[in-house]
Amino acid sequence: MHALTHTATATEPAVTRGETTKLGRAIVVTSGKGGVGKTTTTANLGTALAQRGARVALVDADIGLRNLDILLGLENRVQYHVLDVLDENASLDDALVADKHSDGLYLLAAAQSREKEEVDTEKMRALVASLRERFDYVIIDSPAGIEKGFKNAVAGAQEAIVVCTPEVSAVRDVDRVVGLLGNRFRPQLVINRVRPQLVKKGTMLSVEDVDAFLRLPLLGVIADEPQIIVTTNRGEPLALSRDGQTANAYHAIAARIAGEDVPAPRVEMPKPTLFERLFRGGRA
């Protein structure tokens, strides 16, 4: 164990997972394409799982482009990062940052001034394995792409969540990533940034369309919600509250991950306008 001091909040020796010897679940969040909401999904899923009382470690595997700390509002508390641990410059306890808002939620930040190629895949696998001994869930936020960063993020995981938006390029990339993952990770799908108004107009692929192409178990559907921007600005994940459709969608994902039987995910479609009710009422 290292003699270095703990981060400001981790006053107690950070993380021991009670008496159970059962290993936690390591889940990688990935997508192929960038900017579809992997990090937002990771932050909110981690928050929602922790709110359920689980012990959760979030690992930012996007080496060189650290972001998960920002979304959680922990950027000022990060002292050591994942490469410090892999290089044995810091212990896991030193590097794990306790979340401000949710008990049981910890972050292992990415290295900002390093490169993905520097990470040793086997070391990464071992790190995730040791996190699984201490946490119920280890959620790994994968970088975009399918190169070494992705491979390292996937290395220690047993399950995968793939995040897709209703766009041709995003669906194609998810399809490719799922092909690379194979059956071993039992990938489940989160469809992000759905805009019901546009789906209704026929200008956006619907959840059903995306689902039909990818044919993956549907874990959740998240609407494109302005509030997400606000929560990102503040560093307070939306899933901290239970108000509103989107926050609840994240809690439903967490429940589904935990094995609860939750009704099928969907977004509320906009109510028909007066015009539509008059002219299309008979057809619907």
Partner 1 sequence: MIEFLRRFLSAASPSASTAKERLRLVLMTDHLALGPEIVDAMKRDLVDVISRHVEVDREKIEVTFERQDRAIALLANIPILSVRRPEPPAPPAPPAVRPRRKRSRRRRTTASAAEPAAAT
Residue 109 vs 177, nearer CB to partner 1:
177
d(CA 148, CA 119): 9
Q: Closest approach of Cβ 269 to partner 1, in Å?
A: 14
In this structure, are residues 196 and 269 in contact, taking their beta carbons and an 8 Å threshold?
yes
In this structure, are residues 252 and 265 in contact, taking their beta carbons and an 8 Å threshold?
yes
d(CA 233, CA 229): 6
Residue 206 vs 232, nearer CB to partner 1:
206
| Residues within the interface to partner 1 (CB under 8 A) | 167-168, 171-172, 175-176, 179, 199, 201-206, 209, 213, 215, 275
Q: Closest approach of Cβ 213 to partner 1, in Å?
A: 6
In single-letter form, the type of residue at position 78 comes to V
Residue 180 vs 230, nearer CB to partner 1:
180
Q: Closest approach of Cβ 196 to partner 1, in Å?
A: 13
Residue 90 vs 216, nearer CB to partner 1:
216
Residue 75 vs 175, nearer CB to partner 1:
175
Residue 171 vs 254, nearer CB to partner 1:
171
Q: What angle do CA 198, 37, 43 make, to 5 degrees?
A: 130
Q: Closest approach of Cβ 109 to partner 1, in Å?
A: 35
Q: Closest approach of Cβ 4 to partner 1, in Å?
A: 48
Q: Closest approach of Cβ 273 to partner 1, in Å?
A: 10
Residue 207 vs 254, nearer CB to partner 1:
207
d(CA 43, CA 32): 18
Token pair 């015009």: residue: 275
How many CA atoms does the CB half-sphere of 49 hold within 13 Å?
29
d(CA 87, CA 281): 65
Q: Closest approach of Cβ 172 to partner 1, in Å?
A: 6
